[in-house]
Structure 1
């Protein structure tokens, strides 16, 4: 599998320009805010979402100024949701560094998230990118609904596969779908092509989240603490499958552990062992590959070239990564 730096080579120049513009888009005349946004930029991730925007635009007509604004819009709103998520989850780390709420407390973190959200909205409004704004705003709405749906179901442990897919389609896949749709729209693609790219991104987003959920039950050092979803009472696909394929008394016992002993490391180990023994990880991997292959079918309907190859490599990276 290629590294993320190797994958981005065809659009490396555009990513470099994007990073400078993204940094500039976050600047503020308020010293505290400027210090915090500088901290965020210094600890940026792999830029996978902007890469989906740029490769999708390249596939559908070509990268232009609107593409750069679309990538910045996506990243601003995504960053805002991450800052807010850390407050909601009482999380004090993000990508191995202290989160904004850990360093500057919840009130400031919420305000910083609001600031980033407003910067994204103004970036689109000031440039008349209303189509891009509509695409991304719809994704943010779905992300909020997905998070609330998961919280509601987690309280009662009332979640099966259909609900699980509804949650991850909204929580995770909607934003990657928006990235691909934004890229296509920025390049001037027609509505049918934009929808095709949105669906491509949605399938990748679902595969991406299933892969992420599998890490919770792995046995290797994958960069994500084992059992973190169990501690948060998140019922994910490996556990759903295992619960649906065991004896009734064992199912009752495991549900009791998740609901009442989810902070006990020994009990978490029992749950992880149960999921592995019952085939939950293997089933999840099969489903992840199904969605990935469906995405490839959509991608293969486009002409071959560096953009299509770049998207294929990016898809493989997101579904074959080990962290």
Structure 2
């Protein structure tokens, strides 16, 4: 599989320019805020979301100034939600670094998240990018709804496949969908093409989340701690399949373990072993590939070229990764 740096070569100059603009978009006259936003920029990830924006714009007509603002808008609003999520989840680490709330406490973290949100809104309003703002705002709304739906269902432990897909469509896939739709809209694509790119991104996002859920039952060297979803009582696709394909007594015992494991390593190990022996991982892999194939079907309706190849490679990197 190609590295992320190899994949982004056709848009490397745009990504470099975006990074500088993203830094400047967070600037403030408040020294504390500048220190925190500088810390956020230093911890940047692989820039997967901006790459989806730029490749989508490229395949739909070309990258322009609006594309750069669309990528910054997505990152600002996404970063704001991550900062708030860490407060909600009492999480003190993200990607191996201390979270904002771990270093500066919850009150400051919430205010920083609000600041980033407002900067994204102003960036769009000041440049009349109302369609981009509509697309990303819809994604943020869906992310919030998905999180609340998951909290409600986890409390009652009644998540089936239908609810699971609705949760991940809203929580994860809506953001990648907004990246692809923003890229298309920024390039001046028509409504039909924008919707096609949105659906393409949604299918990638679902495949990405299924893959991420599988890591919970794999080895502990993939960047995600083993059993972290189980510890948080999240009911994911491998577990759902396993619970739906075992006898009533086993199902009752496993649900009880998930509800009452109390972070005991041996109980979590039992749940992981149950999922592996029940074919949960194989089933999830099949479903992940189904959504990946559906995304490729949409992508293949666009003309061949560097942009389509770049998106195809980015999809494979996102859904076939080992961490």
* 1:72 maps onto 2:44 in alignment: no
1:315 aligns with: 315
* 1:302 maps onto 2:302 in alignment: yes
Contact conserved, 2:143 with 2:171, CA < 8 A, in 1? yes
- Report the Cα distance in structure 2 between the residues aligned to 1:111 and 1:272, rounded to whole angstroms: 38
Contact conserved, 1:257 with 1:267, CA < 8 A, in 2? yes
2:283 aligns with: 283
* 1:238 maps onto 2:234 in alignment: no
Spell out the pairing of 1:121-132 with structure 2 (5 A cutoff): 121-132=121-132
2:256 aligns with: 256
2:179 aligns with: 179
Give the stretch that moved more between structures: 220-229 or 70-79.
Answer: 220-229
Contact conserved, 1:139 with 1:175, CA < 8 A, in 2? yes
Q: CA deviation at 1:219?
A: 2.6
1:100 aligns with: 100
1:62 aligns with: 62
Per-residue CA deviation, residues 127-176 of structure 1 (Å, 9 max, x unaligned), is: 00000000000000000000000000000101000000000000000000
Unaligned runs of 5+ in 1: none
Secondary structure at the counterpart of residue 74 of structure 1: helix
Per-residue CA deviation, residues 83-121 of structure 1 (Å, 9 max, x unaligned), is: 011011111000000000000011100000000000000
Contact conserved, 2:220 with 2:226, CA < 8 A, in 1? no
Secondary structure at the counterpart of residue 289 of structure 1: helix
- Report the Cα distance in structure 1 between the residues aligned to 2:201 and 2:29, rounded to whole angstroms: 36
- Report the Cα distance in structure 2 between the residues aligned to 1:167 and 1:197, rounded to whole angstroms: 21
Contact conserved, 1:230 with 1:262, CA < 8 A, in 2? no
- Report the Cα distance in structure 1 between the residues aligned to 2:144 and 2:262, rounded to whole angstroms: 25
2:247 aligns with: 247
Secondary structure at the counterpart of residue 216 of structure 2: helix
Question: Could you state the TM-score of these two structures normalised by the residue count of structure 2?
Answer: 0.99
Contact conserved, 1:232 with 1:262, CA < 8 A, in 2? no
Q: CA deviation at 1:20?
A: 0.1
- Report the Cα distance in structure 2 between the residues aligned to 1:220 and 1:40, rounded to whole angstroms: 26
Spell out the pairing of 1:126-141 with structure 2 (5 A cutoff): 126-141=126-141
- Report the Cα distance in structure 2 between the residues aligned to 1:203 and 1:261, rounded to whole angstroms: 33
Q: CA deviation at 1:261?
A: 1.1
Secondary structure at the counterpart of residue 310 of structure 1: helix
Unaligned runs of 5+ in 2: none
| Root-mean-square deviation over aligned CA pairs | 0.5
Contact conserved, 1:262 with 1:268, CA < 8 A, in 2? no
- Report the Cα distance in structure 1 between the residues aligned to 2:247 and 2:44, rounded to whole angstroms: 45
- Report the Cα distance in structure 2 between the residues aligned to 1:117 and 1:129, rounded to whole angstroms: 15
- Report the Cα distance in structure 1 between the residues aligned to 2:124 and 2:193, rounded to whole angstroms: 22
Spell out the pairing of 1:34-45 with structure 2 (5 A cutoff): 34-45=34-45
Secondary structure at the counterpart of residue 226 of structure 2: coil
Contact conserved, 1:203 with 1:291, CA < 8 A, in 2? yes
- Report the Cα distance in structure 2 between the residues aligned to 1:91 and 1:280, rounded to whole angstroms: 28
- Report the Cα distance in structure 2 between the residues aligned to 1:312 and 1:244, rounded to whole angstroms: 34
Secondary structure at the counterpart of residue 2 of structure 1: coil
Secondary structure at the counterpart of residue 302 of structure 1: coil
- Report the Cα distance in structure 2 between the residues aligned to 1:262 and 1:202, rounded to whole angstroms: 35
- Report the Cα distance in structure 2 between the residues aligned to 1:160 and 1:264, rounded to whole angstroms: 25
- Report the Cα distance in structure 2 between the residues aligned to 1:259 and 1:220, rounded to whole angstroms: 22
2:217 aligns with: 217
Secondary structure at the counterpart of residue 317 of structure 2: helix
Q: CA deviation at 1:262?
A: 4.3
